[in-house]
């Protein structure tokens, strides 16, 4: 398993990396943590002529707070997010999800930008970002733009990012009082991509749920926002009827395809089980 030959450049600043991307277009691939890309290269599933290593570009890594957002640099590793006190305070959902991503060795290298760019529907960060209504900062030579996570993911491994653009940061809206959150997933072994997973956010006031957001992992071609289930729960006390309605709404919200070991029907069943468990945990 050896990759096809390629040229490698280690970019020292963002402009250089963007210029290289402009020049080589589809022939180039950005190399971040390499935890997805290197495997695809070795399996010859991808054979770019150029690898542009962005890991030495200053300013793309780290977690900061602005007036309005929690900002996570694209090169921030899964592990840094898992351990961050700022994340624990302002977006605890991410801290809850992080331990489910692969194994420690992979979390030490893999980056959130890489995960968002790769857009695996079974990955944790994309679904969390959708639930958190995060936005992505995307840079091209021509300038910078921001895209909502809820519109960024367009199809299977297909995103709004053009080949010449680099994701530089993930911005998560600051809330005066952060919502409660629960992250749950079902994977047959620790560290595997989930069969299905759920990211749930909401406030609980006297047993009633509000500001509910539900993101799903592995339940469609992209990370999904379960809007029907959200509507079913919003403003309600999650009794058996409400839960049943929310679970029923998932039939519309989700569109899982089968995998080797699970049919779409099994995934739908598991997604509903997770929803009920997540809501109960949020209320607990």
Strands (E) across 161-281 are located at 166-173, 180-186, 196-205, 208-217, 224-225
Alpha-carbon gap, residue 225 to 10, rounded angstroms: 37
Residue 134 contact partner, candidates ligand FAD, other proteins, none, CB within 5 to 8 A by sort of partner: none
Q: Does 46 bind other proteins (CB under 8 A)?
A: no
- Report, in angstroms and rounded to the nearest whole number, the Rg of the chain calculated over CA atoms: 19
Residue 115 contact partner, candidates other proteins, ligand FAD, none, CB within 5 to 8 A by sort of partner: ligand FAD
C-beta of 96 vs 111, nearer to ligand FAD: 111
Q: Does 2 bind other proteins (CB under 8 A)?
A: yes
Which 3 state secondary structure label does DSSP give 145? Answer: strand
Cβ 226 to ligand FAD shortest distance, Å = 19
Among residues 9, 38, 273, 283, the one that binds other proteins under rule CB under 8 A: 273
Which 3 state secondary structure label does DSSP give 277? Answer: helix
Q: Does 260 bind other proteins (CB under 8 A)?
A: yes
| Strand partners of residue 198 | 184, 216
Q: How far, CA to CA in Å, does 138 sit from each of 116, 143, 198?
A: 11, 9, 26
* Residue least distant from ligand FAD (Cβ): 110
Tell me which residues touch ligand FAD (CB under 6 A): 29-37, 39, 74, 101-102, 106, 110-111, 113-115, 117-118, 123-125, 166-167, 191, 193
- Taking CB under 8 A as the criterion, which residues in 171-200 touch other proteins? 186, 188-192, 195
Residue 118 contact partner, candidates ligand FAD, other proteins, none, CB within 5 to 8 A by sort of partner: ligand FAD
Among residues 79, 203, 245, 269, the one that binds other proteins under rule CB under 8 A: 269
C-beta of 73 vs 197, nearer to other proteins: 197
Alpha-carbon gap, residue 280 to 284, rounded angstroms: 6
Buried b (16+ CB within 10 A) or exposed e, 176-211: eebbbbbbbbbbeeeeebbbbbbbbbbebeeebbee
CB 282 within 8 A of CB 230: no
Chain residues that interact with other proteins, rule: CB under 8 A:
1-5, 43-44, 186, 188-192, 195, 260-263, 265-266, 269-270, 273
């Amino acid at each position: 398993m050896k990759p096809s030959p390629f040229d490698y450049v280690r970019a020292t600043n963002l402009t250089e990396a963007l210029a290289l991307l402009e020049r080589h277009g589809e022939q180039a691939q950005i190399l971040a943590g390499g935890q997805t890309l290197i495997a695809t290269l070795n399996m010859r599933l991808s054979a770019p002529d150029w690898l542009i290593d962005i890991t030495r570009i200053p300013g793309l890594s780290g977690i900061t707070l602005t007036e309005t957002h929690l900002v996570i640099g694209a090169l921030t590793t899964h592990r840094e997010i898992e351990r961050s006190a700022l994340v624990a305070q302002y977006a605890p959902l991410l801290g809850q999800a992080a331990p489910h991503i692969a194994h420690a060795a992979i979390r030490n290298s893999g980056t959130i930008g890489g995960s968002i760019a790769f857009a695996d529907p079974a990955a944790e960060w994309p679904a969390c970002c959708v639930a958190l209504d995060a936005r992505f900062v995307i840079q091209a030579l021509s300038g910078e733009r921001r895209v909502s996570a809820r519109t960024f993911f367009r199809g299977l491994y297909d995103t709004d990012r053009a080949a010449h653009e680099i994701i530089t940061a993930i911005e998560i809206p600051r809330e005066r009082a952060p919502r409660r959150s629960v992250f749950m997933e079902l994977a047959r072994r620790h560290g595997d991509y989930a069969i299905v997973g759920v990211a749930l956010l909401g406030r609980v006031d006297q047993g009633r749920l509000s500001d509910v957001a539900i993101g799903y992992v592995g339940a469609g071609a992209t990370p999904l926002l379960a809007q029907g289930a959200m509507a079913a729960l919003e403003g309600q006390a999650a009794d058996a009827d409400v839960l049943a309605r929310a679970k029923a709404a998932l039939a519309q919200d989700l569109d899982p395809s089968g995998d080797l070991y699970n049919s779409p029907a099994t995934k739908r069943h598991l997604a509903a089980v997770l929803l009920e468990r997540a809501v109960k945990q949020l209320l607990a």
